[in-house]
Amino acid sequence: MRPIAITGIGVVSPCGIGIDAFWAGLCAEPEDRPERRVEDFDPEPWFAPKEARRTDRFAQFAMAAATMALDDAGSLSVDPDRAAVIIGTGIGGLATLQEQIGVMLEKGDRRVSPFTVPMMMANAGAANVSMRFGWRGPCETISTACAAGTHSVGAAARMIADGRADVALAGGAEAAITRIGVAAFGNMTALSSTGISRPFDAERDGFVIGEGSAVLVLESLDAARARGARIYAVITGAASNADAHHITAPAPGGAGAIACMELALADAGRRTDEVGHVNAHGTSTPLNDAAEAEAIAKVFGAGGVPVTSIKGVTGHGLGAAGALEAAALALTIDRKLIPPTARHRTPDPAVDIDVVTGSPRPWEPRAALSNSFGFGGHNGCLLLEPVPAS
């Protein structure tokens, strides 16, 4: 893939709203909370009161992140017919669905809101963003569970590289911390019984559910340079494949993850020894972390590349996770620091990788991978690099 510039970043996360607060949260020790909500989110800066009431929380997050990303990108001259919006989600408007089922059971069918479908539909985030800014190019939603954000960023980058769009807002959004969402994940024993996310730790026992959104402004490197834009990093490779193995468990030995990482490297024309960091999926579940660690070790060698997972801070943002991690990786390159894997205390002898722990690790940025592996066997990888000299 020819390099695609990241020129704007917008973030709504449990550890901070906006890129500076988000970054500070990634580099600090998190509070122990069984759920990672965006506690201080107020839709008022982005929505009129009536509009907010008619927009599910996940779509509110998407709008806030997209607006912040555009503001961050500076002056953009956009042909609206060549401007794309690709915002993924794993679940969509679950809060609206739960609320309106309650209304139906308590008050009857006729009291169900006529706004239920447009609020709960998975494409509401992308649709609302495209309407707000009048962008009439491709407007799509990818729903591949926990890989949705990564797949959306990769698809948008590919659209620009292939000449189908000039600029894109790409990312993911999720707000599934509801009674039904927590009960469902809890009953499948995916959630941590201790309420602590500790990726790759010997005592990990499940993920902590999170929420939020991240949206990136993507444009060609030539266009970004021509307008004098600040460029955080460039996307040079993206890959997607499937385990075709199990609805929730990863393929044994991380076979699908290995293939996906290798495909992303091939797409960018990079060798394994040119990669200096992996932002892992790292959910803090026993099976996922073991399979991913084995896959990373097979691709890069045991302890061959520094690895971090931000889910110790953000929790698992489901369909938003890959977008949050792409934003984190762009900032990792821009700020020349690798955030630590929060709450990692006890090394797992079966995890033979170099997990960054304790405090942020300085590094000289080079090519870096962001991994996402979702229920259903959906795998996604992005390869980001520093801005090339010429």
Q: Which of 316, 344, 378, 381 is catalytic?
A: 316
Q: Which residues contact 177 (CB under 8 A, 6 or more apart)?
A: 35, 37, 209, 210, 211
- Tell me if residue 316 is catalytic: yes
Is the Cβ–Cβ distance between 331 and 9 less than 8 Å?
yes
- Tell me if residue 151 is catalytic: no
Cross-strand pairs, 308: 279
Is the Cβ–Cβ distance between 234 and 369 less than 8 Å?
no
Measure the CA–CA gap between 221 and 225, rounded to whole angstroms: 6
Cross-strand pairs, 219: 5, 167
Q: Which of 331, 368, 284 is closest to 10 using CA atoms?
A: 331
Cross-strand pairs, 210: 36
Measure the CA–CA gap between 268 and 271, rounded to whole angstroms: 9
Measure the CA–CA gap between 225 and 25, rounded to whole angstroms: 30
Q: Which residues contact 125 (CB under 8 A, 6 or more apart)?
A: 58, 59, 61, 62, 63, 87, 89, 141, 173, 213
- Tell me if residue 281 is catalytic: yes
Would you call 362 helix, strand, or coil by DSSP?
strand
Q: Which residues contact 163 (CB under 8 A, 6 or more apart)?
A: none
Q: Which of 15, 139, 146, 260 is catalytic?
A: 146
Q: Which of 151, 277, 281, 344 is catalytic?
A: 281
Show which residues are catalytic: 146, 281, 316
